A and B are shown apart, each in its own frame.
Chain A
């Protein structure tokens, strides 16, 4: 018996516009409406709408034997509502079949868990309300941003009452063990569904790669790989970005045809069935404990957090962002809170990643900036504007009409309306090298 659990991530960030130093204190127009609309519309047309149609057809044509799960972020839903409401309609149509599960995550696709548990929980609550309002179901399985996971996150999620959680089936965590079983955390009992990254990435990353030895990937071949798990596994978790369909892998590659075919071939085998994560978590008892003290994710080759943190600009931006949490919440300014939360979206930090920048690489996808440094500049300038708003009250009027620019050197004489300075504690003008 193999239960196939298919989950797609649906996420779009609010990309920042090229917000310059000279905009600080003058403009609250932080986000690049034109670019965001352009991307949402393009991806709706190439991926979301045709893919939702395809999934609906598969459900109907198999009389509900085919099932699928989604995790849709709040920032994506808001932007669908603004730019492409048809996308929401089509997800609702899928929800109405009763064969589609919506997972829980942070509304802003944030890294809040790493910095503020309160904020993390608030964003999960906000996301849950959004799912309930749109799809009339309450999510029961949690997936953290970018499948970021460790023992501590599992323990918190278990306490919050979830009945299952997703994570990456990373080699350095599993070792000789297979991802095709349900696990539990070392110190808990919540069922863990681990991504079979090989079978997932065969579609997500390798489908159209001509130099891959398995190219071209046919539905028959793929179904046979899944069938082969019978006897040495109980579940196959296929997790991927929804944009794989039609955007990362263009329609011309045959990805839609492939996706229309392989689920039906898999269902021909009497021992196979599609089960959503909630069903898998209920049906299967965890077979073994999994001790993951370190943070893992589904990103890059490292499967760690180095895509979002670790370089100086990422760390400075993150530190400055969460340093104002208390002030932002105390302001009771909803617009300000929302802007601050949109800045928490992990994509901003991903765009600031420099580890492969010189080689020119995958972090470029949907990346609106010329360089990681340009992303940092826009981000910090926006954050500095937010800070000025915090200090000047809700009307946003700066009392003396002047923005004062300070450096570390005169940080101790920082005027009330002055800029906060990012980075390490003041060490004078010398650079650390």
Chain B
């Protein structure tokens, strides 16, 4: 009998805005390849029609349960979503309620924390209805759901740490989020960290014994058509350097901007593209202006999956200047699209990717110097692409899934 996993996430392509959705997709695809039956539970705000549970169980606000390939997806009516703070949560909830025509009573939690707990209550009931062997919860918003499911079912819990509050907020973590993370890690039977870098944070900042934490690096999905598609460089004599990610403190967009200034002082024929959205967008636009490089820095806003691929292809160089990056799949995607990368050493991806240039995010001079070197020496650019692409082609989600599978078997207590 194949192993069954009840998985809790909070985003999944095509409805995702960050790396977590991509990672969940890659991992569940890999697990399906290995014959693991995954039931993926995900929050999704309903469109306003009455919430009817497809399983018919009373009291569970499900939007539906669908079979997506080999995976069963259960959508829970919730306004939980990734990468939001308390204020943004409220804003988002009001938008959803507007769309639903302001029902008399809102079923959603009045704040983010309440909604996390409400979602976790629903999780408990799902756990009683579904058949599974292991619970797997991705990131802090689902840890409580995982704990509840474990209590209801008696099945072992694996929590998967894709990011911690210290990555998102530096040295001023939100205490409620921190507490939820710590509890999830403590109550879990095993913890998966996306890198040794993240494992270090888990042991140092959350006081978890190292042998409870396994490292499973992310990978990248391979689309074999990509190899044959030409680059989409803009042939106007300008070079293009790309930043792509959420425009938040964690991602280091400001360091990218300071390095851009340094590059442009030296060599003006470069445009810098900042793709993504986030709470530092305003700051970035103002900063580009005050540095006097506003005409060289283009902001694209949030990009769809297809636009993202286009952006990689258009660029001559991709830079990941993250201050704290638990993993960072984007450099792998960039190489898959034939664009060389410079990555922050303060990242998990730097543990698995060798054929690239590495910088400390704070070392603006080094970052600028390396950017210029790639733009200036075509042999270097070509070599980085050829070697990097080859290296990335050897990474596979199936390998990551294989590691998860052996962790499932360990927590179940038999091979």
Contacts and interface: CB of A to CB of B under 8 A. Distances in A.
A373 B375 contact: no
Contact of B382 (A21, A312, A421): A312
Interface centre among A312, A373, A403, A432 (most CB of B within 10 A): A373
B239 A21 contact: no
A421 B237 contact: no
A407 B239 contact: yes
Contact of B380 (A313, A360, A410): A313
Contact of B383 (A21, A22, A313, A409): A313
B369 A21 contact: yes
Contacts of A315: 379
B165 interface: no
Interface residues of B, number: 38
A21 B385 contact: no
B266 A22 contact: yes
Interface stretch (A44-52, A242-250, A422-430): A422-430
Interface in B363-384: 365-366, 368-370, 372-373, 375-384
B267 A429 contact: no
Given A22-B365, A22-B369, A429-B316, A424 B387 contact: no
B235 interface: yes
Contacts of A419: 376
A33 to B, nearest CB: 20
Contact of A377 (B233, B237, B373, B386): B373
A117 to B, nearest CB: 25
Given A21-B266, A429-B316, A312 B354 contact: no
B237 A354 contact: no
B378 A408 contact: yes
Given A354-B383, A373-B380, A431-B338, A381 B373 contact: yes
Interface string A275-319: 000000000000000000000000000000000000111011100
Contact of B370 (A312, A377, A408, A429): A377
B298 interface: no
Contacts of B355: 354, 357-358, 371, 373
A161 to B, nearest CB: 39
B381 A316 contact: no
Contacts of A421: 376-378
B71 interface: no
A34 interface: no
B382 A431 contact: yes
A371 B385 contact: no
Contacts of A360: 354
A370 interface: yes
Size class of the A contact interface (CB-based, 8 Å): 35 or more
B357 A373 contact: yes
A283 B233 CA distance: 66
A433 B388 CA distance: 12
A405 B357 CA distance: 21
Given A407-B269, A433-B338, A371 B383 contact: no
A358 B385 contact: no
Given A405-B372, A423-B379, A433 B385 contact: yes
A371 B379 contact: no
A376 interface: yes
B217 interface: no
B231 to A, nearest CB: 6
Interface string A12-31: 00000000111000000000
Contacts of B246: none
B358 interface: yes
A376 B387 contact: no
A292 B370 CA distance: 42
B360 to A, nearest CB: 11
A357 B354 CA distance: 8
Contacts of A403: 266
A374 interface: yes
Contacts of B391: 358
A261 to B, nearest CB: 42
A374 B384 CA distance: 11
A386 interface: no
Contacts of B267: 405, 407
A422 B369 CA distance: 16
Interface in B383-398: 383-387, 390-391
Interface centre among B230, B375, B378 (most CB of A within 10 A): B378
A410 B126 CA distance: 64
Nearest to B338: A433
A321 interface: no
Nearest to B375: A407
Contacts of B231: 430-431, 433
A20 B369 contact: yes
B269 A409 contact: yes
A407 B381 CA distance: 13
B358 A377 contact: no
A388 interface: no
Contacts of A328: none
A431 B316 CA distance: 9
Contacts of B365: 20, 22
A367 to B, nearest CB: 13
Contacts of B354: 357-358, 360, 371
Interface centre among B366, B377, B384 (most CB of A within 10 A): B377
A380 interface: yes
Nearest to B357: A373
A117 B402 CA distance: 56
Contacts of A408: 378
A429 B377 contact: no
Contacts of A430: 230-231, 233, 235
A414 to B, nearest CB: 13
Nearest to A409: B237
Given A373-B384, A374-B357, A405-B372, A431 B378 contact: yes
Contacts of B382: 312, 423, 431-433
Given A313-B380, A370-B358, A422-B377, 19 more contacts: A21-B266, A21-B368, A22-B365, A312-B380, A316-B377, A317-B379, A354-B383, A354-B387, A358-B390, A358-B391, A373-B380, A381-B373, A405-B376, A422-B378, A422-B380, A423-B382, A431-B231, A433-B385, A433-B386
21 contacts: A21-B369, A22-B369, A311-B383, A312-B379, A316-B379, A354-B355, A357-B354, A358-B390, A358-B391, A380-B380, A405-B266, A405-B376, A407-B376, A421-B376, A422-B379, A423-B377, A423-B379, A429-B235, A429-B316, A430-B230, A430-B235
Interface of A: 20-22, 311-313, 315-317, 354, 357-358, 360, 370-374, 376-377, 380-381, 403, 405, 407-410, 419, 421-424, 428-433
Which 4 A-B residue pairings sit nearest by Cβ, starting from the closest? A316-B379, A405-B267, A20-B369, A423-B378
